[in-house]
Amino acid sequence: MELTLIMNQSNKSISELTKVLKEAIGKTPPNGNPLVSHKFGADPYPLIYQDRVYLYATNDEIEYDENGDVTDNTYAGINTLTVISSSDLVNWTDHGEIPAAGPDGAAKWAKNSWAPAITQKVIDGKDKFFLYFANNGSNIGVLTADSPLGPWTDPIGQPIISRETPGVDGVPWIFDPAVLVDDDGTGYLYFGGGIPDEEYEMPNTARVIQLSDDMILTVGEAKPIPAPFMFESGGINKYNGRYYYSYCSNFYTSDRPAGVPGAGEIAYLTSDHPMGPWTYQHAILKNPGYFFNVSGNNHHAIFEFKGTWYISYHAQTLSAAMGIEKGYRSTHLNKIYFDEEGQIEPIQADLQGVEKVKNLNPYETMEAVTMAWQAGINVSKPSDTNFNEHDRVVSEIKQGAWLAVSSADFEHAAKECVVHLASETEGVSIEIRLDSIDGQIVGQVDVPNTGGKWKELSFPVEVDKGIHDVYFVFKGDTNQSLFELASWSFNK
């Protein structure tokens, strides 16, 4: 997907813009939010696995009318999910899309794939992964895999939650799943939303149901969760033995009683059991419009990583920066804090984001689709379909484009850089700069025309010992795509 900026009644791609400005759009150094700026990602949901955070999201893509103008996001054609991951929370790897629904998806019976939820469970001694998704508001599907990145299969060939599921009567929207595997291995699925018969104050549309041991079927009846002004985006966490059900409130415009969430806010309830009874607590995250001056729906998930708690949520900050505030959403991350009584304190959303949890190792081979910031690049499958070493590469690299990683720890001086790329263009070069887009040049290489074949190039660099942000700046004599980049590394 190439994001598009609307300026002066004409469509100008981010790549074309950076040919002149070489400026990031939507995410600017040193900010951490949104997490990526080369594509969108809504309704984020985390999986913590092997010291990485994987975030699965609805794959918002720009829609156009017959005149080529950007239209409002209808969500109607979304049938893939998108995945990014990080081990440090500042550099994010783009793993591409999951074909979840539709004729090319794992669940061919489903039309859409929205609002994913994922978990991992050891079954028969092996790690198994379970990905739940909303087929619009009609029902919920489940996919399984042996890896967080798939391949994904549909184990039951039908929805796991549907109108026929016991206990879903009165739920207008069967969507927005959240999943919990409790300490005893029992799984629970949370879902629901909507407002029946204008029952804004207590819609009674949130539900929880137990899952089978294999996580692909339900057990018993779905139980209601009494969430005041419930609208969507249910979430579930366990903290110090208590269960926290969080959700997004509706947009009721009349006066609300004291002590309930405002319009489009994230609030939560607590319980001593995963299926209730529940006690309402308070709102914790205001609508994105409060923080970013661009409102919209509010969707979240809370998780713990390396002893610290975070909230992932979406906002239209990238699309606003592009001039298309039409429902295209991007994933953000901020910290959350619990007080001494286990209450979640009000959350401050911002563009700054969260600090790194560790430094990046520049001596390891790094996938080029791992980045903190960028301007003018795309991510796609390699053009050479026979290239199997990397599933996704940086592509559509044009004159003036760049990408950067944060906090590379050069424990020793680096003397060489190795890049893996494929080019069909002459007059192309890569500059390596430190700490900013116009920082010190520590290395440069002219990229040969490889005939579209993948080739490793090594070239000298001079990087002193220290921690640096590293910028790869791409230059060429043409406005066409310059080359594709798969990986890079430094040597001592």
Indicate whether 215 and 319 sit together in one domain: yes
pLDDT digits (tens), the chain, 492 positions? 444 333 332 333 333 333 443 679 999 999 999 999 999 999 999 999 999 999 999 999 999 999 999 999 999 999 999 999 999 999 999 999 999 999 999 999 999 999 999 999 999 999 999 999 999 999 999 999 999 999 999 999 999 999 999 999 999 999 999 999 999 999 999 999 999 999 999 999 999 999 999 999 999 999 999 999 999 999 999 999 999 999 999 999 999 999 999 999 999 999 999 999 999 999 999 999 999 999 999 999 999 999 999 999 999 999 999 999 999 999 999 999 999 999 999 999 999 999 999 999 999 999 999 999 999 999 999 999 888 889 999 998 988 999 999 999 999 999 999 999 999 998 999 999 999 999 999 999 999 999 999 999 999 999 999 999 999 999 988 778 889 999 999 999
Give the DSSP letter string of 419-470: EEEEE--SSEEEEEEESSTTSEEEEEEEEP--TT--EEEEEEEEE-SEEEEE
Indicate whether 80 and 224 sit together in one domain: yes
* Active-site residue set: 43, 232
- Let me know if residue 144 belongs to a domain: yes
- 106: closest CA among 133, 126, 124? 133
Angle CA(263)–CA(268)–CA(271) in degrees, nearest 5?
155
Indicate whether 320 and 278 sit together in one domain: yes
**Among 318, 335, 352, residue at a domain's last position:** 335
Residues 156, 291: Cα–Cα separation, whole Å: 42
- Let me know if residue 409 belongs to a domain: yes
Q: What is the CATH number of the domain that holds 483?
A: 2.60.120.260
- Let me know if residue 69 belongs to a domain: yes
Structure confidence by residue, pLDDT tens digits, 48-74? 999 999 999 999 999 999 999 999 999
- 1: closest CA among 84, 74, 97? 97
Indicate whether 308 and 378 sit together in one domain: no
Structure confidence by residue, pLDDT tens digits, 248-270? 999 999 999 999 999 999 999 99
Indicate whether 121 and 224 sit together in one domain: yes
**Among 317, 335, 353, residue at a domain's last position:** 335
- Let me know if residue 346 belongs to a domain: no
Indicate whether 371 and 422 sit together in one domain: yes
- Let me know if residue 416 belongs to a domain: yes
Indicate whether 318 and 377 sit together in one domain: no
Indicate whether 81 and 193 sit together in one domain: yes
- Let me know if residue 176 belongs to a domain: yes
Report how many domains make up the chain: 2
- Let me know if residue 343 belongs to a domain: no
Provide the residue range defining the domain that includes 481.
366-491
Question: What's the confidence (pLDDT) of residue 19?
Answer: 41
Indicate whether 151 and 224 sit together in one domain: yes
Question: What's the confidence (pLDDT) of residue 439?
Answer: 93
Question: What is the rounded end-to-end Cα distance, in angstroms, of the chain?
Answer: 36
pTM (2 decimals)?
Answer: 0.95
Indicate whether 67 and 212 sit together in one domain: yes
SS (H, E, C) 279-314: EEEEEEECCHHHHHCCCCCCCEEEEEECCEEEEEEE
Indicate whether 288 and 171 sit together in one domain: yes
Q: What is the CATH number of the domain that holds 74?
A: 2.115.10.20
Indicate whether 168 and 210 sit together in one domain: yes
Residues 487, 390: Cα–Cα separation, whole Å: 8
Give the DSSP letter string of 317-386: HHHHHHT--SS--EEEEEE--B-TTSPBPPP---SS----SS-B-TTS-EETTEESEEES-EEE--SSTT
- Let me know if residue 342 belongs to a domain: no
